[in-house]
């Protein structure tokens, strides 16, 4: 698992009052404490304030809603190159990969993305504090899949 020399963060993004957009927050909450030596954090806003949260970490796992990936609601996508339809690129006001680069350009120690998980949500503007039936049904499998992928990647860090 994570060594003391590596500071690792699991970061969930989302909006808890936009129904499925909160899936990253819920999954991060479920992962809290599952991995020894790994921190978790959840943010409902993700612009420049992300720099303060991320600074000093060696690796980050990001979990957020995604739209337009071509998948069905509840489908898990892993985005590795900054290209794709991660929901955070628009609703949170900043491209995650661009923020990492900006932080580095400012001289901050920014983490390497260990994995960026996007969960297809379909409609990103439905108000509500509960996930849609499709995402509620997919939640246990998403938790299992993300847990497994994080465990695999932690052994390589």
- pLDDT category at 46 given cuts 50, 70, 90 is low
Beta strand 76-78 pairing with 38-43: unpaired
Q: What local confidence, expressed as pLDDT, does residue 82 receive?
A: 56
Measured CA distances, 41 to 12, 54, 83 (Å): 6, 10, 24
Identify whether the C-beta of residue 15 lies closer than 8 Å to the C-beta of residue 44: yes
pLDDT tens track for 50-91: 889 999 999 999 999 887 767 889 999 988 665 544 444 444
The structural domains of the chain, ordered by start, are 8-156 (3.40.50.1450)
User: Is residue 154 predicted with pLDDT exceeding 70?
Assistant: yes
pTM tops 0.85: yes
Model confidence pLDDT, tens digit, residues 102-135: 999 999 999 999 999 999 997 767 787 889 999 9
Phi/psi of residue 144, nearest 5 degrees: -65, -45
Percent of the chain with pLDDT over 70: 86
């Amino acid at each position: 698992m994570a060594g003391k020399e590596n500071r690792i963060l699991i970061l969930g993004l989302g909006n808890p009052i936009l129904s499925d957009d909160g899936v990253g927050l819920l999954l991060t909450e479920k992962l809290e404490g599952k991995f020894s030596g790994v921190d978790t954090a959840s943010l409902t806003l993700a612009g420049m304030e992300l720099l303060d949260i991320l600074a000093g970490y060696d690796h980050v796992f990001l979990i957020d809603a995604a739209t337009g990936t071509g998948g069905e609601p509840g489908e898990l996508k892993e985005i590795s190159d900054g290209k794709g339809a991660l929901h955070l690129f628009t609703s949170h006001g900043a491209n995650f990969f661009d923020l990492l680069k900006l932080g580095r350009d400012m001289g901050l120690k920014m983490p390497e993305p260990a994995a960026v998980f996007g969960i297809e949500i379909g409609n990103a503007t439905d108000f509500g504090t509960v996930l849609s039936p499709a995402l509620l049904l997919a939640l246990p499998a998403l938790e299992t899949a993300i847990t497994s992928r994080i465990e695999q990647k932690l052994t390589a860090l």
